[in-house]
Amino acid sequence: MSSVIYDRVAFVGLGLIAGSMSLAMRRDGLAGETVGTARSAETRSVAAEINLVDRVVDSAAEAVADADLVVLAVPVGAMGAVAAEIAPHLKPGCTVTDVGSVKQAVFDAVLPHLPTGVHFVGAHPMAGTEHSGPRSGFAELFEDRWCLVVPGPEAAPAAVKRLETLWTALGSSIGRMEPKHHDLVCAVVSHAPHLIAYTMVGVADDMQRVDEREVINYSAAGFRDFTRIAASDPTMWRDVFLTNKDATLEILGRFTEELFALQRAIRTGDGDHLFDYFTRTRAVRRGIVEAGQDTDAPNFGRGTAKE
Ligand code: NAP
């Protein structure tokens, strides 16, 4: 049985990530009280109706009052404005964290607003779905996943440890990183793959010669998985690419070089190149399955292609 880690937790933003954190905290008794707010009256009303947090309030200023932990769970591009709004209302000595998918840009936008004595500790749960909004959260989202923790320059070690204790209690393993390194790692494992999925689905959509029904009916696992990724929230992903520009462009540059090499191997009939390349990438997949980060069940554990 877990015990209370923070007496009062405030969520600014009540979507997939905040909702999942709040539900898990309630299930396991990790917070004395959870308070939350969102930008729109509609989200606040849904959150209250489904009891997503203990108390829904109308403004971020109200939410953070007397909170021991403040969780910024809005798109990366909105973090700075939210930080400016809450700064005068923060409890001295509290911890402010974010769950944004990019870290250097969040540091740049948030840190200048925070008063001395407030501990800023960034966090990025490497867990998510293509769904968003207050109804999309579920308590198990972070189980057996990683949470990347990126401490701010002034954060006390005890504040960092306490946030890590929370993420461990939510079911995640912890990886500590510097903001720029975080952004590069995420460009490789998440941001560039999302852009490639968006592109592939866009190409299929553009191909007038392929009937829409053909794309839907015959979509084998490969394309179907691209469409799942490409259904992710447009605001969130717009902000990710605008704020993790350098690392994403670096990875896309390398990706393009590799793609040209594969293109050339296909044109010249260089089967050895293709075979060796695919053998290497298959080993990467095996490593992910062995690390328990995915299932090796055929078709990702889905029973039939229609599910
Ligand atoms: P979400 O379900 O779309 O929820 C976003 C929340 O932010 C909503 O409550 C929304 O309010 C609010 N919001 C949107 N724009 C805003 C603005 N300009 N100012 C103030 N509030 C605003 O998003 P999410 O998936 O939970 O993502 C939240 C954060 O987690 C993002 O920074 C994202 O990068 C990060 N993250 C996401 C995933 C993922 O897979 N989804 C994984 C890891 C980290 P309304 O509903 O009222 O519009």
CB neighbour burial string for 142-163, b if at least 16 within 10 angstroms, e if fewer: beebbbbbbbbeebeeebbebb
Q: Is the pLDDT of residue 20 over 80?
A: yes
- Which atom of ligand 1 approaches the CA of 39 most closely? 47
**What average pLDDT does range 74-103 have in this prediction?**
98
Predicted local confidence at residue 253, as pLDDT = 96
> Which of 63-72, 95-104, 208-217 has the least mean pLDDT?
208-217
Confirm if 193 and 240 have CB atoms less than 8 A apart: no
Residues contacting 86, CB < 8 A, separation 6+: 12, 60, 61, 63, 64, 70, 96
Between 206 and 229, the more confident residue is 229
Between 119 and 222, the more confident residue is 119
Predicted local confidence at residue 205, as pLDDT = 81
Condensed to tens digits (0 to 9), the pLDDT of residues 229-258 reads 999 999 999 999 999 999 999 999 999 999
3-state helix, strand, coil in the chain (%, to 5): 55, 15, 35
Amino acid letter, 282:
R
Q: Using most ligand atoms within 8 A of CB, pick from 39, 40, 142 the residue to mutate for ligand 1.
A: 39
Biggest CA pair distance of the chain: 67
Token pair, residue 154, equals 């002034």
Q: Is the pLDDT of residue 179 over 60?
A: yes
Neighbour-count burial of 195, counting CB atoms closer than 10 A to its CB (0-12 exposed, 13-18 middle, 19+ buried): buried
Tokens 């769904």 belong to 131
Condensed to tens digits (0 to 9), the pLDDT of residues 113-151 reads 999 999 999 999 999 999 999 999 999 999 999 999 999
> Which domains, ranges and CATH numbers included, belong to the chain?
6-177 (3.40.50.720), 181-269 (1.10.3660.10)
Pairwise CA distance, residues 7 & 37, whole Å: 18
Whole-number Å distance, alpha carbon 40 to ligand 1 midpoint, is 12
**What average pLDDT does range 78-90 have in this prediction?**
98
**What average pLDDT does range 176-202 have in this prediction?**
95
Q: What is the pTM of this model?
A: 0.92
Between 191 and 219, the more confident residue is 191
Q: Is the pLDDT of residue 307 over 60?
A: no
| 3-state DSSP assignment of residue 144 | coil
Whole-number Å distance, alpha carbon 75 to ligand 1 midpoint, is 5
Predicted local confidence at residue 160, as pLDDT = 98
| 3-state DSSP assignment of residue 2 | coil
Mean residue pLDDT across the chain:
93
Q: Is the pLDDT of residue 27 over 60?
A: yes
Q: Is the pLDDT of residue 197 over 50?
A: yes
Q: Using most ligand atoms within 8 A of CB, pick from 14, 16, 58, 70 the residue to mutate for ligand 1.
A: 16
- Which atom of ligand 1 approaches the CA of 77 most closely? 18
Q: How many CB atoms lie within 10 A of CB 258?
A: 10
Condensed to tens digits (0 to 9), the pLDDT of residues 260-300 reads 999 999 999 999 999 999 999 999 988 888 888 787 776 66
Q: Is the pLDDT of residue 305 over 60?
A: no
| 3-state DSSP assignment of residue 98 | strand
Predicted local confidence at residue 225, as pLDDT = 85
